[in-house]
Amino acid sequence: MGNQIKGRVDFECGAVTYSLQFTANGLCELESEAGCSAIVFLKKLDAAGEDLNFSDIRLLFWAGLQEHHPDLTLRDAGRVITDLGGLEPAMTLVEQAVTLAFPDAKAGGSGTGKRKGSAKPKARA
């Protein structure tokens, strides 16, 4: 399941093995797309509870894929999420990778991107 020391989570989707890892480069890509710092973005997701947006989840998933799959687009990341079986399995992978990337933040409970309860993301209009 990847290299936990380096914070990488490997997963199979179709015939492809993907690696999800929140590295400095991936977080910089996230910041460029989101227009805010990665910490602010993760805190926003953490605070969203049941008001998570599909596009925010897709952006975070995409950012985690960038280190090992730099040619994947946001749309490609959305297709991988769909092929995985939807948001729940994708968020499980993201939570694992975020926890591995920020182990100290988990203890404090701030900025890890962990969902509160079983959130149902809402689509943007």
What is the C-alpha to C-alpha distance for residues 19 and 96, in angstroms, rounded to an integer? 12
What is the C-alpha to C-alpha distance for residues 24 and 26, in angstroms, rounded to an integer? 6
124 CB-near residues (< 8 Å, 6+ apart): 53, 54, 55
Q: How confident is the model at residue 4 (pLDDT cuts 50, 70, 90)?
A: low
Question: DSSP states of 11-37 as a string?
Answer: EEETTEEEEEE--HHHHHHHHHHHTS-
pTM of the model: 0.79
Please write the tens of the pLDDT for every residue from 8-39: 999 999 999 999 999 999 999 999 999 999 99
Q: Which residue has the higher pLDDT, 55 or 117?
A: 55
> Which 8-state DSSP code applies to residue 112?
S
Helix (H, G, I), strand (E, B) or coil at 122: strand
The number of beta carbons lying within 10 Å of the beta carbon of residue 55 is: 16
Q: How confident is the model at residue 1 (pLDDT cuts 50, 70, 90)?
A: low
User: How far is CA 13 from its chain centroid?
Assistant: 16
Model confidence at 48: pLDDT above 90: no
Look at residues 95, 86, 97, 89 and name the one whose alpha carbon lies nearest to residue 114: 95
Please write the tens of the pLDDT for every residue from 101-124: 887 765 444 444 444 444 555 555
Helix (H, G, I), strand (E, B) or coil at 53: strand
